[in-house]
Structure 1
Amino acid sequence: MTATPGQPYSPSVPRAHRPRRPLLRTPGRPLRDALTLMALPLVAALALPAAFAGGGTRRWFGGRAENQRAEAQAAKDAAAAAFYELDTAQRDLRISIETIAAVDDSPAARRVVADFDALGSRIDEVSHRYINAVDAHDLDRDDLEASTASRARTELTAAKEELDRVKQELDRFTDGLGPLLGKAETQLARLAPAVERARQGLLAASNALDAVRASNLKADDLAARLAALSPELTKLNQGAGRHGVPETLERAERVTREAEAIRVEAERLPDRAAEIDHRLVSLRTRAQALTTRSEQVDPILSELRRRFTAACWQDLQRVPDDAAAHVRQAETKLAEARSARAEQRWADATALLSTVRALLNSTDEAVSAAGDRLHRLNAVQKDSRQEIERTRFAIRDAQRLAMAGRHTPDPQHARPLDDAVSRLERAIATLDGRHPDYWHFLTETEAVRQSVARVVDRIREERGAGH
């Protein structure tokens, strides 16, 4: 049986049929070289199993070593999963802490940030121990010994337990953030709408000003106020990351309020201009009427001097001169208001018209006082009984209230009521003279009624508090 090409030599082939080996020994080559060449086929034969194995093979150590390797690998996988869970939880919590820090500057929030930093240091420590345990043992080595695999499993299991404990601490810390995180998230949820409202408010105010200018009305003061908000809008556009969430929220709300005020005033400006025009005409007419009425004060004073004692009219002596002076001053302010209106200085025009109105009101009261004084003095001179009965009725009504539900009145109520009776009697007595002071009588009866009214109010307050 002959050997096929590439088939190794087999002893079963008869010697006669075996191929003749070439002479290994050649001229000029030592014998040891020939022996080396003869050994080459044997080395190649020993290398064949490794070549057919498809690369290097793992050294086999027996069942115990492989079991230790598998257990160590399982511990490594479990520790890696625990490390990943802790890292993920820390990243999620960091977002929450940054949210709180950006929104809340309270002591509680600062304490939470500090506690998170401390917890982060603890996480770094256990993470480093886990990484060191992983780096210390190569579980894929061919010559891994069972004792080494067992030590790796022990260290990796301990690392996983530490990671789990810190993860539990992290979970408890996260659970305690509820109120602060809820408040922070609420403010963040308000942030974008608040900034957008501010922008829309500024746009509406600008549009309102444009509409006013289109109607040939000036709004310089409103335009200046709107321009003053431009830096605030710039800060809003820069965002809360630069200026802080609370400050940005407060700025957005302030800008919204001011822009809304500007818009409302701009939209009211045509009506305001029309109102100022109307008031200019109305107050001018009133000033003219008061000029006419003040001219009638002198005849009234003449009659008062002729028919009544000096005490009845002395305080009215300056009414004509004061009235004329006030009307002249009002007319001057009216002229200034007309100039302010023509220049569309709306605030100045409004303030001047308020001054004119106050001047005319005081003049009207003074002029009316003279005529009212004469009317009241005429009435009491003709018949004083009506004034007396009016005052006595007020006293009796107060006395009935003081006695309601009581056998004797409270001295705090009875004393001022008795004084009122005596005061009224003295006022009546002043009418018996040859030249009665009717004005004194009228002021006294008025004062008596006021004192009685105070007693009535006090009784009702005390009884209301008692109930």
Structure 2
Amino acid sequence: MTATPPQPDSPSTPRVRRRAATTVRDALALIGLPLVAALALPAAFAGGGTRRWFGGRAESQRAEAQAAKDAAAAAFYELDTAQRDLRISVETIAAVDDSPAARRAAADFEALGHRIDEASHQYINAVDAHDLDRDDLEASAAARARTELARAQDELGRVKRDLDRFADGLGPLLGKAETQLARLAPAVERARRSLLAASNALDAVRGSGLRADDLAARLAALAPELTKLNQGAGRHGVPRTLERAERVAREAEAIRAEAERLPERAAEIDRRLVSLRTRAQALTTRAGQVEPVLSELRRRFTAACWQDLQPVPAQAAESVRQAERKLAEAQAARRDQRWPDATALLSTARALLNSTDEAVSAAGDRLRRLNAVQKDPRQEIERTRFALRDAQRLAMAGRHTPDPRHARPLDDSVNRLERAIATLEGRHPDYWHFLTETEAVRRTVAHVVARIREERGAGAH
């Protein structure tokens, strides 16, 4: 019996099979048919009972060749599936990461793609070269088919293993990319919510009668950024879109918070205006009391004790006048709701009043200290000597002789104190010089003590 020849347009003809094999990957993508099933279609369309089978060695070789064909088809399908899955990962990395490592991964994947194409062509050519359904298939032809199909399967397997190793190496890059992608949508949504909250806070402030022109300008400046966020990461890239979303959210949140604090800020400015005006009035009264203090200093002490205080009354009056002018400007800024200007002017007025307070207080403090030392200088002397003795004991602790770096300034301080005490002798002692000298001695002693403790602390470690 002879085999019935295939019809010209039958799917089992070699010409049709070759055309189907060369487009197998596109066919799989279009209809979603598994490769093994696709490759089995020609045999199915051949129809049952149309082929006459021959026994013996030829049929054995045919069966082995068919098994090799099925195994190669499965390897081809696995490789194709792995490549498709991995392409998604590589494209994900490329969309998020522009680092050298990411660019190198894309280039490596492209090189693997060329190897996959070569292995796939080798497989398809092996399938097209041998019609295992022929009734008159010889054993030698079946053996060649089995060998070529097995070789194609081996090459597909090698490329698949290389692809798997490449996929394993993508882990860190892919994890980083997926993390950024996971952050993207929430970050953009957070930015939008923050902008809406800032806009609502501004509306509420304006509804209370307060202006917030500077905040409104800052919010308007974010409009182009919102437009870019709405255009999406596909146009601007994931990293830049993520950074923009986070920056917009921070700025919008800051605007919202400042808008909500604005009523409290206005009330605080009002309170500071009242407080500083009251303080300026009190300093004007106190400045008027400096002249009597200076008169007593001039009458009872030498010129060196009070000459540096002579300009205080005039300087105090001028500083108070300057502070009052700044307060008037701050009031105008508050009325115009120029909040930053009002705050800055209040700070300037406060600094002027602080310096005036110190100058006015200095005159009364000078008289008090001079009265005390004139009455009994021994308290000041003993206070300074005690500091010196304490420093000397510390310098000698654990030593037979003190370190010259410590001993020399302490010895100089002892001599300086003795000279200061000597200035108290005579008909008109310079008490202020005495007080400034004892203060200088105590500062020097404190510096030596601090250095000794620092050096010993460093040595202990």
User: Which category of TM-score, normalised to the shorter sequence, fits these structures?
Assistant: 0.7 to 0.9
Cα offset, 1:142, TM superposition = 4.6
Q: After the TM superposition, which residues 177-256 of structure 1 pair with which residues of structure 2 at under 5 Å, given as runs?
A: 177-256=170-249
1:157 to 124, 147, 150: 150
What letter matches 2:61 in structure 1? Answer: Q
Cα offset, 1:220, TM superposition = 1.2
What letter matches 1:410 in structure 2? Answer: D
Look up the match of 1:448.
441
* Range 144-153 or range 214-223, more displaced: 144-153
* Higher radius of gyration, 1 or 2: 1
- Structure 1 residues 56 and 390, CA, compared in 2 at 3 Å: closer, same or farther? closer
Aligned partners of 1:226, 1:460: CA distance in 2, in Å?
55
Is 1:84 the counterpart of 2:77? The answer is yes
Aligned partners of 2:133, 2:341: CA distance in 1, in Å?
92
Look up the match of 2:413.
420
Aligned partners of 1:126, 1:96: CA distance in 2, in Å?
22
Cα offset, 1:60, TM superposition = 5.3
* Range 268-277 or range 320-329, more displaced: 320-329
Look up the match of 1:329.
322
Cα offset, 1:143, TM superposition = 4.6
* Range 361-370 or range 125-134, more displaced: 125-134
Look up the match of 2:276.
283
Look up the match of 1:166.
159
Cα offset, 1:152, TM superposition = 2.2
Aligned-residue CA RMSD (Å): 1.9
Aligned partners of 2:246, 2:127: CA distance in 1, in Å?
55
Task: Report Cα offsets for 1:408-445 as digits up to 9, x if no partner.
Answer: 22222111111111000001111112222111111110
What letter matches 1:253 in structure 2? Answer: E
Aligned partners of 1:110, 1:428: CA distance in 2, in Å?
82
SS of structure 1 residue aligned to 2:401: coil
Is 1:117 the counterpart of 2:110? The answer is yes
Gaps of 5+ in 2: 1-46
Aligned partners of 1:90, 1:57: CA distance in 2, in Å?
39
SS of structure 2 residue aligned to 1:431: coil
Cα offset, 1:239, TM superposition = 2.2
Look up the match of 2:454.
461
Task: Report Cα offsets for 1:161-218 as digits up to 9, x if no partner.
Answer: 1000000111111112222222222222222222222222222222221221121111
Aligned partners of 1:141, 1:345: CA distance in 2, in Å?
95
Task: Report Cα offsets for 1:43-63 as digits up to 9, x if no partner.
Answer: xxxxxxxxxxx9994355554
2:338 to 335, 345, 359: 345
Aligned partners of 1:140, 1:341: CA distance in 2, in Å?
97
Cα offset, 1:350, TM superposition = 0.5
Q: After the TM superposition, which residues 359-438 of structure 1 pair with which residues of structure 2 at under 5 Å, given as runs?
A: 359-438=352-431
Aligned partners of 1:335, 1:203: CA distance in 2, in Å?
37
* Range 351-360 or range 407-416, more displaced: 407-416
Look up the match of 1:273.
266
* Range 104-113 or range 391-400, more displaced: 104-113
What letter matches 1:460 in structure 2? Answer: R
- Structure 1 residues 179 and 56, CA, compared in 2 at 3 Å: closer, same or farther? closer
Aligned partners of 2:220, 2:125: CA distance in 1, in Å?
62
Aligned partners of 1:326, 1:131: CA distance in 2, in Å?
97
What letter matches 1:319 in structure 2? Answer: V
1:72 to 65, 68, 76: 65
Task: Report Cα offsets for 1:377-408 as digits up to 9, x if no partner.
Answer: 12111211111111111111111222222232
SS of structure 2 residue aligned to 1:408: coil
What letter matches 2:375 in structure 1? Answer: K
Aligned partners of 2:366, 2:49: CA distance in 1, in Å?
130
Cα offset, 1:122, TM superposition = 1.2
Q: TM-score, normalised by structure 1?
A: 0.84
Matched residues, number: 414
Cα offset, 1:222, TM superposition = 1.1
SS of structure 1 residue aligned to 2:210: coil
Task: Report Cα offsets for 1:108-157 as digits up to 9, x if no partner.
Answer: 22222221111111111111221222223333345544433332222111
What letter matches 1:257 in structure 2? Answer: R
What letter matches 1:183 in structure 2? Answer: K
- Structure 1 residues 55 and 456, CA, compared in 2 at 3 Å: closer, same or farther? closer
Q: Percent identity?
A: 86
Is 1:355 the counterpart of 2:355? The answer is no
What letter matches 1:343 in structure 2? Answer: D
Task: Report Cα offsets for 1:332-381 as digits up to 9, x if no partner.
Answer: 11111111111111111101101111111111111111111111112111
Aligned partners of 1:351, 1:132: CA distance in 2, in Å?
84
Aligned partners of 1:110, 1:309: CA distance in 2, in Å?
85
Is 1:317 the counterpart of 2:316? The answer is no
Task: Report Cα offsets for 1:52-85 as digits up to 9, x if no partner.
Answer: xx99943555543333333322222211111110
Gaps of 5+ in 1: 1-53
Q: After the TM superposition, which residues 2-151 of structure 1 pair with which residues of structure 2 at under 5 Å, given as runs?
A: 57-58=50-51, 62-151=55-144
What letter matches 2:330 in structure 1? Answer: A
- Structure 1 residues 454 and 55, CA, compared in 2 at 3 Å: closer, same or farther? closer
What letter matches 1:155 in structure 2? Answer: E
What letter matches 1:184 in structure 2? Answer: A
Aligned partners of 1:337, 1:344: CA distance in 2, in Å?
10
Cα offset, 1:307, TM superposition = 1.9
* Range 276-285 or range 124-133, more displaced: 124-133
Look up the match of 1:294.
287
